């Protein structure tokens, strides 16, 4: 199973430096590692001491800015040419683990442009059939949130690939990262609401569309798009929330950063993501920024020691239905949540939970209720040990009486 470490932290906390150090430490431990910068404007290349970034986003020619002092580099031999070759040879031997490391930069501008071109092609058929011109890709943008969605798709593709054992993501600053990581659940909820409307509209207009034989149906296009989007969201969700994935949060001593740092585990758990706030909470700080492979490797050793820097396997935080006598309980893990931060509303067959941290941010997630709970009403809600426990009681108006008898357990199981 490919491990995923998504690193983020308050601005200026050193996330890029620690992402590079972690990736080097994992590569030195024998893992095939992809270090992916999704909010990178060249910082990874600078931190690693590389010469630049190629057209396909890969960081070129990772070099060591401070691997050897002058005496070691000279090797005691005469002639500058020989000493240079000797230094490069020793460098390759010392840092042979770099063969395990691939460094790639995600370019949001290029990815967005390509996505908008694809969208323009998708719209061209129905628009041409209606006598309308196809918009240019530049006329469709910018689309809010699209770069985040494309970055998540890039991460999911890397995790799904068998090419790497570990994917280390140098993420954006913490507030932006939380917004990015919330997209899969937000988009999934929107698509769940779109599908019934799409189906009703298609049925209502079916007689009219039957007379337009040969013309592309806009509803067929929408159906295809929603199905593809749902599948891609599922892949992203699987990558972020499988047992080998963790969001590793870089600590900061700045007082202004503390409210968001304290709220981050709660907000990540709301979206079903596992958080690690301990590993990088108190990183040793050096007077000078570590640059180059040697300095970053030393930092990785100082942070992780001899331990494997990749996350162990653990189940992500997900809701669970618990039988509670004749009633039910829906448990949602929300570590660190406070009562006055919570909002709870039932909307049809969904339970909408809002976590609002004053002065920081508000996040919302719509949980589709399991079939059994859809036939119940909310009877209680309380917080205990970092878990929101929502009590449900069967509603006789929604649950047939024959399912409410004491000896109807098999019937309830079959119905749900």
The whole-angstrom separation of Cα 401 and Cα 397 is 9
- Going from the C-alpha of 368 to that of each of 7, 270, 306, 351, 365, the distances in angstroms are 29, 14, 43, 6, 10
**Beta bridge partners of residue 167, listed in sequence order:** 4, 34
- Strand boundaries in 317-400, DSSP class E: 320-324, 327-333, 342-347, 350-357, 361-368, 376-384, 387-394
- Give the CATH architecture of domain 3-304: 3-Layer(aba) Sandwich (3.40)
CATH number assigned to the domain with residue range 320-415, chosen from the 4 options 3.40.50.620, 2.60.40.790, 2.140.10.10, 3.20.20.140: 2.60.40.790
CB distance 22 to 309 below 8 Å: yes
The whole-angstrom separation of Cα 300 and Cα 283 is 10
Domain ranges (residues) in the chain: 3-304, 320-415
Per residue of the chain (416 residues), give pLDDT as tens: 899 999 999 988 899 999 999 999 999 999 999 999 997 767 888 898 887 777 777 887 775 444 333 333 434 333 334 334 334 444 444 567 888 899 998 888 777 777 777 766 666 666 555 555 666 656 666 666 788 888 999 999 999 988 999 999 999 999 999 999 998 888 777 777 766 544 544 455 455 444 444 444 555 555 565 677 778 888 899 999 999 999 999 999 888 899 999 999 999 999 999 999 998 988 877 778 888 888 999 999 999 988 999 988 999 999 999 998 889 999 999 999 988 899 999 988 899 999 998 877 789 999 999 988 988 999 999 999 999 999 999 887 765 554 444 444 443 444 43
DSSP per-residue codes, 58-108: BEE----TTSS-HHHHHTT-SSHHHHHHHHHHHHHHHTGGGGGEEEEE--H
The whole-angstrom separation of Cα 336 and Cα 51 is 44
Q: Residue 80: is the preceding peptide bond cis (ω within 30°)?
A: no
pTM of the model: 0.80
**Beta bridge partners of residue 245, listed in sequence order:** 4
**Beta bridge partners of residue 332, listed in sequence order:** 388
Half-sphere exposure of 71 (CA within 13 A, CB side): 0
Per-residue pLDDT at 222: 55
**Beta bridge partners of residue 320, listed in sequence order:** 331
From 202, 9, 23, select the one nearest 104 (Cα to Cα): 23
């Amino acid at each position: 199973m490919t491990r995923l470490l998504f690193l983020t932290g308050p601005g200026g906390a050193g996330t890029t430096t620690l992402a590079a150090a972690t990736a080097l430490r994992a590569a030195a431990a024998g893992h095939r590692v992809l270090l992916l910068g999704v909010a990178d404007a060249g910082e990874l290349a600078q931190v690693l001491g590389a010469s630049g970034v190629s057209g396909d986003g890969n960081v070129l020619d990772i070099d060591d800015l401070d691997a050897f002092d002058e005496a070691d580099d000279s090797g005691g031999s005469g002639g500058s040419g020989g000493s240079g070759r000797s230094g490069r040879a020793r460098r390759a031997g010392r840092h042979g683990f770099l063969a395990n490391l691939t460094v790639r930069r995600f370019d949001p501008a290029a990815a967005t442009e390509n996505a908008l071109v694809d969208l323009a092609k998708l719209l061209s058929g129905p628009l041409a059939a209606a006598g309308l011109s196809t918009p240019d890709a530049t006329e469709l943008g910018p689309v809010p949130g699209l770069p985040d969605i494309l970055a998540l798709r890039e991460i999911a593709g890397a995790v799904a690939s068998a090419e790497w054992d570990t994917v280390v993501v140098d993420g954006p600053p913490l507030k932006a990262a939380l917004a990015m990581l919330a997209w899969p659940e937000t988009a999934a909820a929107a698509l769940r609401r779109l599908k019934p409307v799409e189906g009703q509209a298609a049925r209502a207009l079916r007689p009219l569309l039957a007379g337009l034989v040969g013309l592309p149906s806009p509803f067929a296009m929408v159906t295809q798009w929603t199905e593809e989007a749902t599948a891609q969201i599922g892949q992203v969700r699987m990558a972020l929330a499988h047992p080998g994935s963790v969001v590793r949060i870089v600590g900061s001593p700045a007082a202004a950063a503390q409210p968001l740092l304290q709220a981050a585990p709660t907000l990540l758990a709301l979206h079903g993501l596992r958080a690690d706030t301990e590993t990088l909470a108190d990183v040793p700080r050096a007077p000078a920024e570590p640059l180059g492979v040697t300095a970053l490797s030393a930092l990785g050793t100082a942070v992780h020691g001899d331990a494997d820097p990749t996350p162990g396997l653990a189940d992500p935080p997900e809701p669970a239905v618990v039988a509670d006598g004749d009633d039910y309980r829906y448990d949602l893990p929300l570590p660190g949540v406070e009562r006055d931060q919570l909002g709870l509303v039932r909307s049809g067959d969904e339970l909408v939970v809002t976590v609002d941290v004053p002065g920081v941010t508000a996040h919302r997630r719509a949980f589709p209720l399991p079939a059994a709970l859809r036939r119940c009403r909310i009877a209680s809600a309380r917080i205990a040990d970092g878990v929101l426990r929502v009590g449900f009681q069967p509603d006789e108006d929604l649950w047939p009486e024959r399912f409410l008898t004491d000896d109807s357990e098999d019937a309830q199981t079959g119905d749900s």
